[in-house]
Homo-oligomer: A and B are copies of this chain.
Amino acid sequence: MSTDTDTIDSDLIERLRARGQRVTSQRLVINRMLQARDAHVTAEEVLTAVSQTLPGTSLPTVYATLELFERLGLVRRVSAGGGALLFDSRTVEHHHLVCRSCGAVQDLDVSVDLAPALDGARAAGFAPDRAALVVEGLCDRCRAD
């Protein structure tokens, strides 16, 4: 997977053009930031990071951009914590560990056989897109208390 800035930019530009949407500096910078930080981020974190390159960027723009990127398939909302929305630039299927004490979310890379769940979902008249496991418990750090 090529992750240099040019490729990342080109990929976004291509996707935007394909849908007749405009290429703006905010979109480029937010996209670079998401790809660079291969982790779960909140809108606030995106704003903080982006503001260093592009001061004056606003939170509504960050939300609008993240929503757009979700439609473009560049980010996914993480169904995990109950607090702020989390956006994940890892679009491949993976699971999450959620600490019930500090709320931190981290990736869990294991493979689980989800076929029975997907079959069950279909049997219930549901059309599944994807399935992910949420494991709740205490993280490394909080366990020390």
Contacts and interface: CB of A to CB of B under 8 A. Distances in A.
Interface residues of A, number: 43
In the assembly, how many copies of this chain are there? Answer: 2
Contact of A126 (B79, B113, B119, B137): B137
23 contacts: A77-B82, A82-B85, A99-B126, A106-B124, A108-B117, A108-B124, A110-B117, A110-B119, A112-B112, A112-B113, A112-B117, A118-B135, A121-B135, A121-B137, A124-B140, A126-B137, A126-B138, A128-B136, A130-B137, A131-B133, A131-B135, A133-B133, A134-B134
Interface of A: 77, 79-82, 85, 95, 97-100, 106, 108-114, 116-121, 124-140, 143
